[in-house]
Amino acid sequence: EMSEMSERSKQNVAHGLAWSYYVGYLKIVLPRLKKSMEEFSRGNPNLMACRKTWKLHILVPLSCDVYDDLEKADSNIQYVTDLTETTLARAGTKRRVYKHSLYTIRDEANQLWHCAVEYATPLQSLWAMSQDECAAFSREERLEQAKLFYRTLEEILKGSKECADTYRLIAYEEPEEAETHFLSREIVWHLRQEHHEEIAVLEGSHPHTPSTALDSAELNLQISVSDLPQPLRTDGF
């Protein structure tokens, strides 16, 4: 009965997507990311000088509007190269390839920043479900599920020792009026915070943990400690 109620309310969709994303992808690639960054940095020491940015920056647009080409999303974001590939036998595929792309982000002062960045791909599923009549997934439900996906993924990653200090979640709401360089500004904000963290460590002071542009408290969701998510709350968003 509980399972049927959960399925009717679609509360289990984002919860399952977050766990699948972690177990089937992030838990595989994130522990190997530092090594790829180190290899790239040895050949390009000026591009990746700040070790705090040696993370996978994961974009979580709450609209679920995901671009396949980041350069089309924002012209201030330019592809540089791919980091070293990881090749594994996975679910019957002999040589499954996992890789990340490195980008240059230009800020408002024309300063160049470099980082590995990509969208959280499960958001494409949420978007597709809201476009498919069979899923009967409304825009409001999609927004709630996107917020639940972010909170669930955040909690999973916080408890993962293997993935510690290898990622940064960048959740954001796009402005109602289109802004040409909104996305690049969001990414640069986080990169600046990482630079401040590294400077604080080098100077010996206690690094302040910055709040993200859209942190989990602002999402104001109730996440269950059990396997069944609790009802969503949208009163604070």
Summarised one tens digit per residue, pLDDT across range 183-206 is: 999 999 999 999 888 776 666 655
Identify the band that residue 60 occupies on the pLDDT scale cut at 50, 70 and 90: very high
DSSP of 56-121, one letter per residue? Answer: EEEEEETT----S-HHHH-TTEEEEEEPPPEEEEETTEEEEEE--EEEEEE-TT--EEEEEEEE-T
> How far, CA to CA in Å, does 216 sit from each of 63, 93, 128, 144, 223?
16, 36, 25, 13, 11
Identify the band that residue 218 occupies on the pLDDT scale cut at 50, 70 and 90: low
Q: How many CB atoms lie within 10 A of CB 53?
A: 22
DSSP structure class, residue 51:
G
* Structural domain boundaries in the chain: 1-204
**Residues 213 and 138: beta-carbon distance below 8 Å:** no
Kindly tell me if the per-residue pLDDT of 230 is higher than 80. Answer: no
Looking at residues 2-31, what average pLDDT do you find? 78
pLDDT at 138: 79
Kindly tell me if the per-residue pLDDT of 75 is higher than 90. Answer: yes
> pTM for this one?
0.81
Identify the band that residue 219 occupies on the pLDDT scale cut at 50, 70 and 90: low
CATH tag, 1-204: 3.40.50.12100
- Classify the C-alpha dihedral 128-130-136-137 as positive or negative: positive
**Segment holding 171, helix H or strand E:** strand 167-172
What confidence tens digit (pLDDT) does each residue in 112-141 have?
A: 999 999 999 999 988 888 876 666 677 888
104: exposed, middle or buried (Cβ count in 10 Å: 0-12, 13-18, 19+) = middle
**Residues 71 and 57: beta-carbon distance below 8 Å:** no
